[in-house]
Amino acid sequence: MTGYLDKINRTVRKLRGDRSGVGAVEFALIAPVLIILYMGSLEVSVAMSVNKKLARAASTIADLVTQDSSVDKAFLNSMVNVAESVMTPFPSDGMKVKITGIAVNSSGVGKASWSWQEDGTRPYTNNSTQELPDELAIPDTFLVRTEVEFDHKLLLFVPDLPKVDVRTLEMKKVYHLRQRIGDNVTCSNC
């Protein structure tokens, strides 16, 4: 029996001194953390790129609308295609576009002169009060406001995290620009 215990003691001492699998064990412990960090940084960088493209789409639409003194629904409808082109290579399904002409009265209060959204309806009633940033509420001026909304679907998500269900990021960009020709931009059939 003593020989058997000596054999077990030698085997235990031999295993305790063996360091050949330490690297594999350390890698197995740290690899999931590194993979999650890598995928998370990928998600953040893609979301930032989509957000930047959304801002560019809003500014491009406002820029194009303010270059004319008069627009119509057909022209405004073409702005959806402009927004989708700017969003390339990211998918733009479900993008919402609103364009509003805002007349700022002598008191600095903005009122909707006309409005349009991608489904052809009017999102704001004519003469409804519109909130404006203080620095843009200059009396007796005119603004075109472009609102572009998009729900960015995340590529990855952690499915069983309690009380966390983030699969889409709701993004919205609002851009104001003054007309370039004349005193305002009119919409003939809005």
Interval 119-172: pLDDT, tens = 989 999 999 999 999 999 999 999 999 999 999 887 665 555 555 556 788 899
pLDDT at 92: 85
Backbone angles phi, psi at 147, to 5 degrees: -120, 125
Of residues 149, 33, 157, the one with CA closest to residue 93: 149
Over residues 5-13, mean pLDDT: 79
C-alpha neighbours within 13 Å on the C-beta side of residue 120:
1
Each residue of 57-66: pLDDT tens digit?
A: 999 999 999 9
Rg (CA), the chain: 29
What is the pLDDT, as a whole number, of residue 149?
95
Express each pLDDT in 65-87 by its tens digit: 999 999 999 999 999 999 999 99
Query: Burial level of 74, CB count in 10 A (0-12/13-18/19+)?
Result: exposed
28: pLDDT strictly greater than 70: yes
Gap between the Cα atoms of 10 and 16, Å rounded: 10
**Are the beta carbons of 190 and 116 closer than 8 angstroms?**
yes
Please list the alpha-helical segments (H only) found in the chain. 2-17, 22-65, 73-87
pLDDT at 37: 87
Residue 188: pLDDT over 60: yes
Burial of 93 (0-12, 13-18, 19+ CB in 10 A): exposed
Q: What is the pLDDT of residues 80-113, one digit of tens each?
A: 999 999 999 988 888 999 999 999 999 999 999 9
Residue 136's closest CA among 113, 109, 112?
109
